[in-house]
Structure 1
Amino acid sequence: MSDSSTTTITALFRTREEADLAIEHLVQKNGVPRPDIFVQPTAHENSGGTAPSGGDRYHEDGPREDGKLTGEIEVSVDVAEGEIAAVQRTLGDTGAIHVSGRPLT
């Protein structure tokens, strides 16, 4: 999606679980096409976020300590101008710790 009224909304999440939930809601509730959603760690290394969650938290021997928690997970989505508020609300409702936007040029 790329036209003069397209904006990239970026959100940061503490856990991969929160980022995955946000993506699911963007696709299913907001109707955002999956190719318009991008996910990456903010750290130089691959990361599961800054806090353990889901399968990162425990295994059969107790708490896990082997997962890399070196930075937030960034989710960005390209949306039309009329979808900005709904997408920002969805990202906030699913645990984003920071949401920002910038118009695509």
Structure 2
Amino acid sequence: MSNDNVKTLIATFDTREAADRAIEHLVQQYGIDRSDVFVEATGSDNTAGTQPSGGDVENREGDGVRTDAALEGQLQVSVDLALEDVDKAQAAFRDAGARDVSSR
């Protein structure tokens, strides 16, 4: 998507669970095409966020927090969307727990 009627919205999340929830809301609730949504680490290291969540919380034995999760930094979700969809995408990001939301 590259024209004057399109904007890229970017948000950072502390957990993969929150990033996944934002993506789910964008696609399922608001009808944003999944191919216009991207997720990546904010830095150069592989990461699942900055704190355990979801499958990273308990080990297989169920007796404690896993210690092998890659908790090396925040995750960034970006979405290319039409200008009329910016408000609903911002709401989806914030509802999912975004730390920062910006656009370009």
**Do both proteins adopt the same fold according to a TM-score greater than 0.5, normalized to the shorter chain?**
yes
How far is 1:2 from its partner?
Answer: 2.4
Give the counterpart letter for 2:77 in structure 1.
V
The C-alpha deviation readout for 1:82-102, integer Å capped at 9, x for no partner, is 111110011000110110001
Q: Secondary structure at the match of 2:80?
A: strand
TM-score, normalised to structure 2's length?
0.94
Segments of 4+ in structure 1 off by > 6 A? none
Measured after TM superposition, the shift of residue 13 of structure 1 is 0.4
Is residue 77 of structure 2 the alignment partner of residue 72 of structure 1?
no
Q: Percent identity, aligned pairs only?
A: 49
User: What are structure 2's unaligned runs of at least 5 residues?
Assistant: none
Residue 10 of structure 1: CA displacement? 0.2
Count of matched residue positions in the alignment of Structure 1 and Structure 2: 102
Give ranges in structure 1 of 5+ residues lacking alignment: none
The DSSP-based 3-state class of the residue aligned with 1:4 is coil
* One-letter amino acid of the structure 2 residue matched with residue 86 of structure 1: K
Q: Give the counterpart letter for 1:76 in structure 2.
A: S
Pick from 79, 84, 102: which aligns with 1:82? 84
- Superposed CA RMSD: 0.9
Q: Residue 4 of structure 1 aligns with which residue?
A: 4
